[in-house]
Structure 1
């Protein structure tokens, strides 16, 4: 394509030549001839670049927030390139913190150019796929843009640790565990007294009542069973809100909280599953054990539906269809922990819907709003009204402020929820 660098030069050359002829000035005629020569030179387009790209990542498996040096070497396997611009296509989830990811050079056949830059690692799989090359002719009048395939991967998996725990709601599966139920059996908390049946353990016979009335009776203790919990993490584009451009976003905070809570639940013997409230389909059925724990960590760390930047923007997302599909997958006895900043209505409707269907719902809401601006304050008020609406409907809500550690927020509500 043309760059229009010499736009108007043709007209100017004609004017200069005409003036030289009219005034019989040889200098003007020479100037017009030079301009005509430039026009002739710019008529030729540059050759299409034939390049080989090699990209090296200093540490392909860094920890989150680590700075990683990326080096790119481009070798010319074609004709001479007098003006070559190179732009590396850095994955969206990585921030360049040192050195631009671009380079300008000229390359003879067989020559190579190297440039480097530094990125800050963030959770997930980050794939470089191409490098963009723009070649111009010697006069800069024409340019050719092309992309060269060059695949490289940086994989950043956080070391999720068991975090704060939250009291679960009353319960659930036939597996023994730590959640109290309304069913009598073997446990540690008194539930009821019934008539003695042959074969009942002597330790559960109410001997005080036998001594007082002469009748044998058996103590029923409240059973504790394992909970089935499914985390639903809101990763739609609106959920990536943050109180400031440099602040950690609501999705990142929510995934960290989800990982910590899931680790605590699995350690306590509960069954845990996860999915994303997102245009991308992602589902891990509830389970337990070491292998399931590894699957859950892998899902939260690298699945595209939980990515550090919004994904699936090109796909239509219909919350009603998503809820229908989720209902088909959700076990009948499962509790739902919805992790969302609640900056719009879809997560509110989701919580209400599944609470009405009999699933115990808890909402963990990282607050992404700020009172620094009038608009931010208005968004915060609207969010507060949504959370208040959920509480009135009997849904547990943990409102988690940006500057507050999750463990502190969890402790703040744990006592109230346990009562």
Structure 2
């Protein structure tokens, strides 16, 4: 290009035509500029800092990025876009545009709203252009420092969970039809040697002279598995600003687990979803901590649907083999389709007392949404007709819905 630009210069000199010489000189200058204006070397380091790497759900976290030019040349046009996890909402732009001299650092910050789960940042996309913008280099660079935000739901029992009569041999709080030690009177029987004196029917002995023993209704512990419907079909919400039904189901589980453990029940957790998400029933503070970690970080309960293939019939078969014979099931599902109701009925038919907590994700703003609400209401009605308890969880707190359901079932 420079050689071609010299042709009009030579002709202009020979012909003594200054404008032709000027045109050639401009061509030579432009060719020299383009040749010398190469893409800049992209030699930068990046640090990322989170104001709180383990926030509570709903907390705002400030993310700060520092980009340092480690090269010898100026970066006249440097642009960077942080790899924000898709589940984290941010109102601030997670990007920077600046010029950066050698050895200098540029800093920018943005805020994200924490949501349950383990969220990992992708590498930072960095692009550098020459002054004319004709050449550029780009790269994806891993940031040093914090790359993961962990947000775990707080296990907080807000209300007692009404359980059905399937129990274990251990003492607890579920009334049974078995006579023995307890509070509520059950029956009387003949006195046996070794019976506690406090259970002898002394009133009858005073009347008849015969010894008999009072039997009370035993209260035993239950084994409960909290199962969360986290299939793609369950990620429903009445509007874009509301939490989806899977998030609400995890919230219900986070309240159910400590309530059951505090009552002396053995508690397990599972997900009706792709992947192997199970926690064997257990008790104690260590078990509660494991349940909290599973609810917070297991991929099967991610804030967004899984891309893995899911075979529901295979899942039900494996779940039945894993489920203890004396276990009740607390099934948290929005009942998005008939198959969810079928799973509840099938488990109940196999001898596992099923209670459904169903967060309502429906809306009534369009005919299609109203139809979906009617179909879901029909599923709730059919389950109740089959003898399965359903807590239809609307806009009120779960504690309020549980108290209302307990009063209804106690009549």
- What TM-score do you get using the length of structure 2 for normalisation? 0.85
Equivalent residues of 1:71, 1:114 under 8 A apart: yes
Aligned to 2:142, what secondary structure does the other structure show? strand
Cα distance in 2 for partners of 1:409, 1:38 equals: 77
Unaligned runs of 5+ in 1: 1-16, 18-25
Report if the CA contact (8 A) 1:275-1:282 is conserved.
yes
2:382 is aligned, of 378, 389, 408, to 389
State the distance in 2 between where 1:143 and 1:392 align: 68
**Aligned partners of 2:367 and 2:31: how far apart in 1?**
57
2:245 to 247, 250, 257: 250
Give the counterpart of 1:379 among 362, 372, 377: 372
Per-residue deviation at 1:44?
7.9
Q: TM-score if structure 1 supplies the norm length?
A: 0.84
- Report the counterpart of residue 370 of structure 1 in structure 2: 363
Matched with 1:270 is 265
Q: What's the offset of the Cα at 1:208?
A: 5.5
Tell me the residue number matched to 1:23.
Answer: none
| Aligned equivalents of 1:138, 1:303: Cα separation in 2 | 47
> Alignment partner of 1:135: what SS?
strand
Q: Distance in 2 between matches of 1:303 and 1:383?
A: 28
Cα pair 2:40 2:136 within 8 Å, conserved: no
* 1:346-403, Cα deviation, whole Å (9 max, x unpaired): 32222122111100000000101111122211111111112122112211101011x2
Q: Count residues in correspondence.
A: 392
1:240 deviates by: 2.4
Q: 2 CA distance for matches of 1:139 and 1:77? A: 22
Tell me the secondary structure at the aligned position of residue 163 of structure 2: coil
Whole-angstrom distance in 2 between the partners of 1:94 and 1:110: 32
**Deviation (angstroms), 1:207:** 5.1
User: Using the alignment, how far apart are the partners of 2:405 and 2:149 within structure 1?
Assistant: 38
DSSP 3-state at the match of 1:154? strand
> How do 1:151-170 and structure 2 match up within 5 A?
151-170=146-165
How far, CA to CA, are the matches of 1:35 and 1:114 in structure 2?
40
Counterpart CA distance in 1 for 2:156 and 2:35 is: 63
Could you tell me how far 1:55 is from its partner in structure 2? Answer: 0.8
Classify 1:42/1:343 alpha carbon distance in 2 versus 1 (closer, same or farther; 3 Å): farther
Q: Are residues 1:361 and 2:326 paired? A: no
Q: Is the 8 A contact 2:348 2:354 kept in 1?
A: yes
Q: Is the 8 A contact 1:176 1:224 kept in 2?
A: yes
2:229 to 218, 229, 234: 234
1:43-83 alpha-carbon deviations (Å, 9 max, x no partner) = 98735633211011122233332222211111233454443
Counterparts of 2:377 and 2:38, CA distance in 1: 61
Computed over aligned residues only, the root mean square deviation of the Cα atoms, in angstroms, reads 3.1
Aligned to 2:90, the other structure's residue is in SS state strand
Q: Which of 120-129 and 368-377 deviates more?
A: 120-129
User: Is the contact between residue 204 and residue 219 of structure 1 (CA under 8 Å) also seen in structure 2?
Assistant: yes
User: C-alpha distance in 2, partners of 1:217/1:55?
Assistant: 76
Task: Check conservation: 1:171, 1:180, Cα contact below 8 A.
Answer: no
Show the counterpart of 1:406.
Answer: 398
1-structure distance, mates of 2:310, 2:38: 45
Whether 2:57 is the aligned partner of 1:64: answer yes
Distance verdict in 2 for CA 1:220–1:147, change over 3 Å = same
CA distance in 2, matches of 1:211, 1:378: 69
C-alpha distance in structure 2 between counterparts of 1:253 and 1:187, whole Å: 36
1:113 aligns with 2:106: yes
Structure 2 stretches of 5 or more lacking a match? 1-7, 9-18
Aligned ranges for residues 18-417 of structure 1 at < 5 Å? 37=30, 41=34, 46-47=39-40, 49-78=42-71, 80-97=74-91, 99-150=92-143, 151-206=146-201, 216-307=211-302, 309-313=303-307, 315-401=308-394, 403-417=395-409
Which is further off, 171-180 or 232-241? 232-241
Paired residues of 1:184 and 1:221 also in contact (CA < 8 A): yes
Which range moves more in the overlay, 162-171 or 198-207?
A: 198-207
